[in-house]
Amino acid sequence: MKTVGILGGLGPNTTSRLYLDIVNSEKLKRYPNVLISNVSFPKGMDEQIIQNKKDIDSMIDPLVESINQLKGGGVDIFVLPCNTLEDLAPEIKNRTGVTLLTPVRDVVEMISKIKLKKLGIIATSKTRELGVYENRLRDVEILYPSEKNQKEV
């Protein structure tokens, strides 16, 4: 059985939900092997990135370190459950040889198959600012919460 590696800690709630979705999948006949590497970065760095006080590229080194930990644990499939860090995936692949499964990649693939014309996204302000979905779904109208509601997100 393949081992799934989750790059966690970028949003502990997202990490834990993904883990539970994987192990509770009704498609599986047995519990899968899952390793989580809680990405170690200075507390508050994520907030600084969201508030544009720090560049998103500052996450590359901690992510590479976590991927190397997961590789050492025999991981076959690597998952980055974070929209905001999507644009780092090519550099991470360049430095580690690992292709990351990401929510953006999966959403773009699904939307392209069903030819959806409008898509509502709930994401961080940074994801919205970076145009993560707009850059990949040029023919799809992307809808976000209002500015007021975005602050709650």
CA distances for 121 relative to 47, 126, 150, angstroms: 20, 13, 11
User: Looking at per-residue confidence, does 82 or 73 come out higher?
Assistant: 73
Q: In angstroms, rounded to a whole number, what is the distance separating the alpha carbons of residues 37 and 133?
A: 26
Q: In angstroms, rounded to a whole number, what is the distance separating the alpha carbons of residues 127 and 77?
A: 24
Question: What is the pTM for the complete model shown?
Answer: 0.83
Quick check: 96 pLDDT over 90? yes
Listed range (49-58, 126-135, 140-149) with the worst mean pLDDT: 49-58
7-40 tens-digit pLDDT? 997 778 889 999 999 999 999 999 999 999 999 8
